[in-house]
Chains A and B, each alone.
Chain A
Amino acid sequence: MNDATQFALEQGVAEQHRHHGKAQFFWVWGALLVMTGFEVYLGYQNMEPVRMLSILMGLSLLKAGLIIAYFMHMKFEISRMKWLTMSSLLVCLSLMCIFFPDAFRILSLGPK
């Protein structure tokens, strides 16, 4: 890609920034703080661990989604960029789950 095309793309990105105001960043920041506060509140509750883990991981995914979409500006990228980056990441991370059944198997090993 030559300098002129690069420059045009940078101008396009700058134009996108001009169209969204500061307020939404403050809203996202507030939402992230509120969700963090709720997570800490859950930490002080006597909740069953699996249930608590599910809620905490759900909130973490929501927070990660907000950060990627608004702070990292993924919401304003073209769909090819969104799909290729996010789907490849999710597939690779999901593949790591293959080890979890082994962690449960270890618990039932050993002399009976």
Chain B
Amino acid sequence: MSDVAVQHGVAAGVYEPSLFGTYSKKIGMWLFLLSDSLTFGALLFAYSYGRISTPNWPTPFHSESIRNATLMTAFLLTSSLTMVLAVRAAVFGNAKAQRWWLLATMACGTAFVILHGREWSKLIAEGLTLPMFPAVPGHEAAAEYKNVAQNVPQFPATFFGLTGMHMLHVTLGVVYLGIVALRKKFIPVLLGLWLVAWLATPAYSPFHYGAHVLLLSAVVAGIVLWLRPKVYDSADVEVAGLYWHFVDLVWMFIFPLVYLMSTRIIRG
């Protein structure tokens, strides 16, 4: 009886239309992204505050760092293109193309994380570090970076805080896309990546412990897929795309503010 009533209601159009003219999953993701942009906004403002209030703010990034960061930016921008093509393929119902574009997006995201990880490791080894990071054995810290870490501790604190938060978002984004593209087949891949990342990084590296994010992601993804197994549709791919583009968007502010405004080249 109730089914009949519901069918009648749909036909008559008595249900209230969406306030925002789109489906609820997408509105939910937009609300999350708005709140997350305040997190990144606060970190970027903290960095800028530190910079304004510190007269001897360091400019430690040489050409090599700028080249590396530029390449990372190119990877992120390309990943946004492949992501939007994945959404388009999903809308057209082309499952094979959708999967390949999602995998291409993940590859670009992974390249970004690896390049960023190398940059971090190099800076830490040269002395631009935080007190919580263990010292790198058998590596002499460069006087320039050592002075920065000692005299202006706000710089490494805000630099590692801001870029670390972004790196975490990119890593979780790659996991998210992996789940959408491969579903439960991605769990063993994720566990393999965790083992490689954990065993391949030395014990003093922050990434040795950071790799456990992948293990935690595998557990959470496993629970989600077990509780609600489903084939992800075009709306799910579009919502995942919103998250991915947001991560790209945030980097568009971090790159000039943190890297280009702190280059050794500017000051001569």
Contact = CB atoms under 8 A, between A and B. Distances in A.
Interface of A: 1-2, 4-6, 9-10, 12-14, 17-18, 22, 25-26, 29, 32-33, 36, 39-40, 42-47, 49, 52-53, 56-57, 59-60, 63-64, 67-68, 70-73, 77-78, 80-81, 84-85, 88-89, 92-93, 96-97, 99-100, 102-104, 106-107
B23 A13 contact: yes
B260 A56 contact: yes
A32 B245 CA distance: 13
A20 to B, nearest CB: 9
B260 A36 contact: no
A52 B180 CA distance: 41
Nearest to B29: A72
**B23, B235, B259 interface centre (most CB from chain A within 10 Å):** B23
Interface in B45-68: 45, 48-50, 52-53, 55, 66
Contact of B245 (A9, A72, A92, A103): A72
A67 B245 contact: yes
Nearest to B52: A103
**A2, A42, A60 interface centre (most CB from chain B within 10 Å):** A60
19 contacts: A2-B15, A5-B15, A6-B24, A10-B233, A12-B21, A13-B91, A13-B235, A17-B91, A40-B66, A64-B253, A78-B21, A80-B20, A81-B21, A85-B30, A92-B34, A97-B45, A99-B45, A103-B52, A107-B52
Nearest to B78: A29
A71 B74 contact: no
Interface of B: 6, 10, 15-24, 26-27, 30, 34, 37-38, 41-42, 45, 48-50, 52-53, 55, 66, 70, 73-74, 77-78, 80-81, 83-85, 87-88, 91-92, 233-235, 238, 241-242, 245-246, 248-249, 252-253, 255-257, 259-261, 263, 265-266, 268
B37 A93 contact: yes
Contacts of B252: 60, 63-64, 67
B249 A43 contact: no
A105 B268 CA distance: 28
B15 A1 contact: yes
A80 B30 CA distance: 13
Contacts of B50: 103
A92 B24 contact: no
B23 A9 contact: yes
Lowest 3 CB-CB distances: which A-B pairs, in order?
A78-B21, A56-B256, A103-B52
Nearest to B27: A81
B230 to A, nearest CB: 14
B72 to A, nearest CB: 11
Given A81-B21, A89-B37, A93-B38, A68 B249 contact: yes
Given A93-B41, A96-B41, A40 B70 contact: yes
Contacts of A104: 52-53
A80 B19 contact: yes
